[in-house]
Structures are given as structure tokens and as C-alpha cells.
Amino acid sequence: MTNPLLDTSSLPRFGDIDPDQVMPALNELLTAHRQTLNHLLGDDEDPSFDSLVVPLEAMGHQLSRVWSPVSHLQGVKGSPEWRAAYEEALPVLTEYGTEMSQNEQLQQAFVRVDEKLGPTANSAQRSMVQHALRDFRLAGVDLEPDAKARFKEIMQKLAAVQSTFSNNVQDASDTWSLTITDEAELAGLSEQMIERARTQADEPGTWKLTLDFPTYHAVMTHADHRPLRQTFYKAWSTRASDQGDSEYDNSDNIQTILKLRAEKAKIVGFNNYAEYSLARKMADTPGQVIEFLRHLAESCKEAAQRELDELSAQAGEPVAAWDVSYQLEQLKQNRFAVSNEALRSYFPVDKVIDGLFDLASRLYGLTLTRREGVDTWHDDVLFYDVSDDGGNPVGGFYADLFARSGKRTGAWIDECVCRKRLGDDESLPVGYLVCNFTPRDAQGRSFLTHEEIVTLFHEFGHMLHHLLTTIDYPSISGINGVPWDAVELPSQFMENFAWSYDVLERCSAHRESSESLPRDMFKRLDDSRHAGAALAMLRQIEFALFDFRLHTEFKGDGFDVLALLDDVRDEVAVVTHPEYNRLPHAFSHIFAGGYAAGYYSYKWAEVLAADAFAAFEEAGIFDEQTAARFRKEILEIGGSRDFMEAYVAFRGREPSIDALLRQSGIEVK
């Protein structure tokens, strides 16, 4: 019987896929790919784009199809078997990737293809070849044999330790819980959250709170009992650290990751990993990034201090780190008479999805239709087909929206299938959209906070970027090949629509009356938008500056990561965190994800997004011509063009931070 992972004729056969099939599938496929590569390089002394690059694109697409469900399932299943299969496969896959990118014969073949690209070559073809040549250089293709072998070893070790880092964060979160014996300590939490805690409890008359994000966020935002908030803050901020269970301590992993990254960068000629990281980004130098972050911090720090002082005045005492979210929520209720829990009652998840799909139709003429009978990995998962205004299929995506034990925290999208059109060989894009909202109750209902709606819109923006590409080559279609500091533009741009009454009205139906969100309630929500905006911005700048300085200044064994964090906080933060805070130990974005020396991308992309949305505000937020231009110049191009040139083609000029400051209620100086 054919290994189901190797069956790429349709959507993944999740019901048939087992962890023990991963290594046989990869070994069979990689053996075949190595043979194909040998034929390509041995049979053609004068390669062309069609004879070399197109077959390689087909190979890469096939490998992505096989690996995608493996990578996805280990993050959403919470299965030790899937985790083990993933970790066993990582070194094999990493070795193959490094082997390809260090292949001198292949690199020289690309050089010849680049020289032969004539006037008939399009920008996508030129971009693909240039990206490949850049990546050969970054992988050390020109290194001496010993250095090349060391680079390969570093890549394998990094893959393993970064996976361990991520697993430790998840395990530390999953194994922590708090049993409450006095219901009064749950005051302020929603009935839905209290009921969930009751059903999770091990003994009657008690309530069990876990450290999944919906519970943590609810406690920090709504729990009146301050000691409960402090307990959760400490549990969250010490996950996977020396302050918790030593089995999951990431202290050594942090040092190992930083040391390997620094060595990797220096082997290929960079002074530090930050310089290496920028080779694939819009920014040119570490100095540019640090200057950008410090300028943004300077622009909002005074406003953030005023916001913090206001919260302290409201609380009647200096607010601690575990008080900020709660006091902000109290401020919104007191000043604007708007409550997250009151708002939640208007936003059943299914109605929010309907409103989101209606927005996609109004902006881009898309129709999104649920398809029944698609094989998935959990009963909660739904699948949607996407078609254009002419009824032509565009692609599709899985939606896995609810938190559960073992599932990786946070929200993200990932590729299941990339768009591909190579001759007669065609694939439409398919993606995974994953969130961690409060699960459906006994009546099958789940209601979203407005913050969760913003999160859903954000991830859907990423999904549109994946789906609406018109680029036929997988390596630069959709989100592929896009500079990392621009890839968040489509997602953060979409967040703005979650602040439109016209949009939210179509997303709402009260849990009892089914009435849509009243305009006066929206007005209060909109008025509250700026509450805490400077504090939130400064917090993100703190993360970004810490990340970037860390990867610029790391000096080797014994580097004091926590001292650097303290230095960054002294410079830009206004909220004081206790000594036990271990932010780095669970900072998966930079230690296990793709944001190393790149977390600043969120703020840079937010500048782009606010500036782009200002164009919609000027023309009308549903203006067809503006939406068509955004789709053509931003969403469709993948990595086929210089991104700043594309942005200027959309906006008519380069971006300015002024729109972001105004959007956040911060005075533009």
C-alpha cells in the first residue's frame, strides 16, 4: 500500500497518516530527489530556467506537500508519537536542505541560468534565481570542506535544540494547573470560563484553572482577586525556566541556540546573527533597525507613562505587571462603559466567521463555502473552499479555532499546499488557520472577545496573502520569498477592519436576542481603542529591541541574557517586572520560530499596515479600486518583486510612521 504521506494527489489523508510513516516517506522521497538532482546536473551541461529551475520547483513543492502535514500535526495533536516522529525527521530534512544549498555544482548551474535569462524572462523568474543565489551564499556554498561540514552540523543542532525549546514551553504550560476551592476567588471571570474550570476539576466543589492562553488572558484581564492574577503572572512568566520545573528549563537551550547562530553567521562572513538575518529582509543594517525601534519608543514613551500613571491613580496604588491588563479593562468599563465580557455576548464564533467572509467578498469578490466530508485531525476542524467573483476556484483552508490540551498555544497560519503552475502541472493553494479560542460549550457555542476577533482577522490576512497569489512558482508564491519584515503587512492591515462598525455589525448576533452590536456600544469600544495603546506599543518595542540587541551583541558562553533584558527595559519600558520574570525562556518566536533578529518585523509591518489602511480611509474602506490595487501590488506578488517598490506602486510613496502614531492616539511630533 502506498504511504499516505506520499499521496499528494489530493488533500492530506489525515485519517490514514500515522507517525511511523514519516521516516519511510521522507527516506523514499529524498532518495528519489537526490537521483533526480544527479540527472539534472549530469545530463545538462548548459542548463536553462526550464530545464533546471522548473524541475527543482516541482521537487520542492512535492517535499513541502509531504512534510506539511507532519509539521502541522506535531503542533496541533499533542501526541508524544507525533512529536517523536517530527524530531526524528528534523535532522534528515535539515541535512537534505543544507546539502542542496551547499551544492557547488548546483550553484554554478544557477549562475549559468542567471547569465542566460534574456528579455523574455519575467520578474518572477529573475527573482527566483536571485533568491537562490543569495541562499547559496548564506548557506556557505563557497566554504572550505571543513567549514561547510561544520555549517551543516550547526544547522542540524539548531533544528533539534529549537524543537526542544518549543516542546519545553508547551510541556511547562500543559503540566501547570491551579485548583481553586473558594469560588469567590473566581470573581470577575465569565460564567463560561468558571464552568469550564468546574468541568476540568479533579474533585467536586473545586475549580481547575490551566495555563492555556484563553484562561491566562481571562484571569489577567478580568479576575478581581489580585493574588490569583499574581499567581498566573508568575506561572506564565517563569514557564520553561530555572524558576519552575527543572525538567523543562530552557536556560541552557537559549545559550546553545545563540552560540550556534552566532557561529553560523560568522562562518559565512557576517559579524553577528543580526546581520545574517537582515540578508532576507527589507532593512539593510542592524543600526537602521535599532534606530527605527528607538525612534518609535521615543515617540510613545511619554504617552505610555501617562497611561500607566492613570492606571495607578485608578487603582489607588502603583500597578504591578499583573495589574496592567486588569486595570485597563476596568478603565474601559469605567470611562467608556465597555466590557470585554459584555461585548463577547454579541460575537458567536460562527457569526464572526460569516462577517469575516462577507468582508472578503466585499473587498476582493471572494466566495467562501464550507465543504463537508473533508478528512481532518480533530472534530472541531472545518474546511472552506474559496472561489473568485467568476466562480473560479482560488484555493481553500482548514480552520482549527479552539484551544485544547497538547495543542501549541497562540495563533498562526501555515501552508498545506502552495500555488503551483508548471506547464500542465497545477496546484491551488491550501492553508491551515489555527487559533486557540475558548472551546464550544455544552450547547455548541463559543463567543469571542473583540481582541480575539482582531486575532482572527490578523490570521485571515495571512491566509489571503497565501491564497490570492498569482505567482506560479512555489518558492516565491504567497508568503514565500517575501521579506520577513514585510510578511506581517497583510495580517496587520486586516486587523483594521475589526474596528469598523459596518464590519462588526455583520459579525454580531447577541447570545439571547440575536440583535447585532448596537452602534452606541461600538462607539464606546471605538473610543476605548486608544486606551493602553502606547503601553502596548512600548511592550512590543521592548520585545523587538531585546531580540535584535541579543542577536547583535551576543559574545559567547556565559552571556547574561537577563542582564541585557534588564538594560532594554531600563531604556524603553515603563512597567516594572519582578526579578523572577523569565521572558526569554518562553520567547518561542525568536528561539523556536522564524523571528530571530526579526521580531521588529511586527512593528515595521504595523507601520506599513497603518499607512496602507490610511489609503483605504482616504478613499472609503471598501473602495473597490483601492482594494484591487492592494490585491495586485501586495497580495498577489509573493516574492517576485522588490517589496518597497511594490508598496510604493500601491501607495504612491514610501511609508511613514505618522499613520501608526495617529491610529494609536499618540501625538505626531
Catalytically active residues, by annotation:
459
The cell numbers describing 321, all together, are 505587571
Q: How far apart are CA 519 and CA 522, in angstroms?
A: 5
Element (H, E) at 207: strand 207-210
Q: Does residue 395 contact residue 469 with C-beta atoms inside 8 Å?
A: no
**Residue with C-alpha cell 503572572?**
233
Q: How far apart are CA 206 and CA 197, in angstroms?
A: 8
The cell numbers describing 531, all together, are 486606551
Q: Does residue 659 contact residue 613 with C-beta atoms inside 8 Å?
A: yes
Q: What is the DSSP string of 309-321?
A: HHHHHHHTSPPPT
| SS3 sequence of 550-589 | HHHHCCCCCCCHHHHHHHHHHHHCCCCCCCCCCHHHHCHH
Q: How far apart are the first and last CA of the chain?
A: 68
Q: How far apart are CA 377 and CA 70, in angstroms?
A: 12
The cell numbers describing 173, all together, are 504550560
Secondary structure of residue 659 in the 3-state scheme: helix
The cell numbers describing 475, all together, are 518558492
* Residue 394 backbone dihedrals phi, psi, to 5 degrees: -105, -40
The cell numbers describing 119, all together, are 528579455
Q: How far apart are CA 554 and CA 310, in angstroms?
A: 37
Sign of CA dihedral 60, 62, 64, 67: negative
| SS3 sequence of 385-427 | EEECCCCCEEEEEEEEEECCCCCCCCCEEEEEECCEEECCEEE
* CA 405 vs CA 76, 131, 200, 402, 626: distances in Å: 9, 40, 11, 10, 43
Nearest to 601 by CA among 264, 342, 282, 348: 282
Q: How far apart are CA 16 and CA 180, in angstroms?
A: 41
Largest CA distance in the chain: 78
Q: Does residue 475 contact residue 128 with C-beta atoms inside 8 Å?
A: yes
Q: Does residue 117 contact residue 49 with C-beta atoms inside 8 Å?
A: yes
Q: How far apart are CA 548 and CA 567, in angstroms?
A: 13
Secondary structure of residue 395 in the 3-state scheme: strand
* Single-letter residue type at 514: S
